[in-house]
Chains A and B, each alone.
Chain A
Amino acid sequence: MSDKDVHLLDRLRQAPPFEEGVSFAEVAREVGRQRRVRGIGALGGGAAAVVLGLGIVSGALGGLRPGDATSVAAQAGATAAPSLKTDPFESRTVAYPVELCPESVTTDPDVPDQPFGDVGEAFVASRQLVPTTVPVSAVMCTYRVVEFATGGGMAPSAGRTHRLFSAVKVGSGLDRLARDLSTLAPSVSTSRACTLMAGPVDVIFLRLDYAGGGTVWVKVQTDVNRCTPTTNGSFVTDWYGGDTFRAVSDAAVWSEAAMSAQPGNRPAG
């Protein structure tokens, strides 16, 4: 090797490296993205195109946040992996435990099967939404059950099954979660006056697992009218949990901020 080559190689080796590498947050975000692709893509669910529209469906229809329509529509036809608006992996506590969620649900699904098993206390499901015991794991399973078809027409998908859209493990705030949800007041009436605006609906199941092996499920529906009750299958509360559950699903943390996602949304208990 000639002197010229040695000099050339020195230049190659000593060329100043980039002052900045990649940020850890970027790497964490990429890990989250890869998991979403693997986890949700494996389910084979296609992302539907969504356009916003209005119509009357029922008092139990839910709302779609600005940006969601864009993000879902952008995925349609391109990939089976829907993108979430917020990358929950930034909380560094998220897994995508799709195996913990039902693979699909019907348009108006029941809360998954009882009984609960050992939840660490004498829990009576008809008396409170969740046990006061802090769960060891909480997972948000989201299903898009009503969407709006491309072209502006409303396309409620009644009678169909809907595949899992996202599965997010709540990384922290489980003590607060237990406190907030176990103190909700029961519903005081069988019928309430609700507005009837139509909108897309997500069903979100919250799966709570306890150290003794027990499991409790809670169901909410996102709803533009913010009127859909929250239930564990037996106990029903008038508290609308759609905004809170969605915020928790985005952030992967149960926090005071999540409970305040909808103004005036504090539990009444």
Chain B
Amino acid sequence: MNEPEGFREFVVARSPRMVHTAYLLTGDAHLARDLVQTALARTWPHWERVREGNPDAYVKTVLVRLATTWWRRKWRGEIPTEVLPERAVGSGSAGMPSATAGVDDRLALAAALRTLPPGQRRVVVLRYVEDLSIEQVADLLDLAPGTVKSQAARGLAKLREVLVDE
């Protein structure tokens, strides 16, 4: 089978954002890349149909389901961290962000997200980072809308608590 038209461009343009989402979902950069790669590979055979609709949403759905499956199969022993790792200090000059400020922030947020139980983390990322509606998150994660609401609220509260304590 030949390369589907437009798929290469889609990968180049959209995969950085997908890796970011996967990273927030998993807290693991390598795993994030693997999941995105697999999600895109699974999209490939359906690309002609998918591209007519909303390819971002399609890949995101595959990605979240892959992450969920991965958690169920491989990561049952995951224990949310209680304490955030220390962050680098003093690397920027006064009033100026350091060269690693963005990376630090990303790492801090990912670390904060890792303090949430996996299910809660997925809800928070999809609801607040990906801006999906309650119904969309419920559908994607196969949860009741009420559960999504409560998990989102609890997750946000926990994040607030963790990040304020930084």
Point out residues on A near B: beta carbons under 8 Å. Answer: 4-5, 8-9, 11-13, 15-24, 26-28, 30-31, 33-34, 92-95
Contact = CB atoms under 8 A, between A and B. Distances in A.
A138 to B, nearest CB: 16
Given A4-B160, A93-B2, A21 B44 contact: no
B154 interface: no
7 contacts: A12-B24, A15-B102, A18-B20, A18-B23, A21-B36, A22-B37, A27-B40
A119 to B, nearest CB: 25
B96 interface: no
Interface stretch (B7-15, B75-83, B85-93): B7-15
B159 A22 contact: no
A20 B33 CA distance: 10
B20 A27 contact: no
B8 A15 contact: no
Given A5-B160, A21-B36, A27-B44, A13 B128 contact: yes
Contacts, number: 87
Going nearest first, the 9 A-B pairs with the smallest beta carbon separation are A21-B15, A17-B20, A30-B41, A21-B16, A16-B102, A18-B19, A27-B40, A31-B41, A15-B106
A20 B16 contact: yes
Number of chain B interface residues as a range: 35 or more
B109 A27 contact: no
B160 A21 contact: no
Given A17-B16, A17-B20, A93-B2, A22 B109 contact: no
A19 B19 CA distance: 9
Interface of B: 1-3, 7-8, 11-12, 14-20, 23-24, 29, 33, 36-38, 40-42, 44-45, 102-103, 105-106, 109, 124-125, 128-129, 131, 156, 159-160, 163-164
Contacts of B18: 21
Nearest to B107: A15
Given A21-B14, A27-B44, A92-B3, A8 B37 contact: no
A12 B109 contact: yes
B129 A12 contact: yes
Contacts of B163: 8, 11
Contact of B160 (A8, A19, A31): A8
Contacts of A94: 1
A19 B103 CA distance: 11
Contacts of A11: 105, 109, 163
B67 to A, nearest CB: 15
Given A11-B105, A12-B125, A24-B8, 15 more contacts: A11-B163, A12-B24, A12-B129, A16-B105, A17-B19, A18-B16, A18-B23, A18-B29, A20-B16, A21-B18, A27-B11, A30-B38, A31-B44, A31-B45, A93-B2
A9 B37 contact: no
Contacts of B14: 21
B110 to A, nearest CB: 8
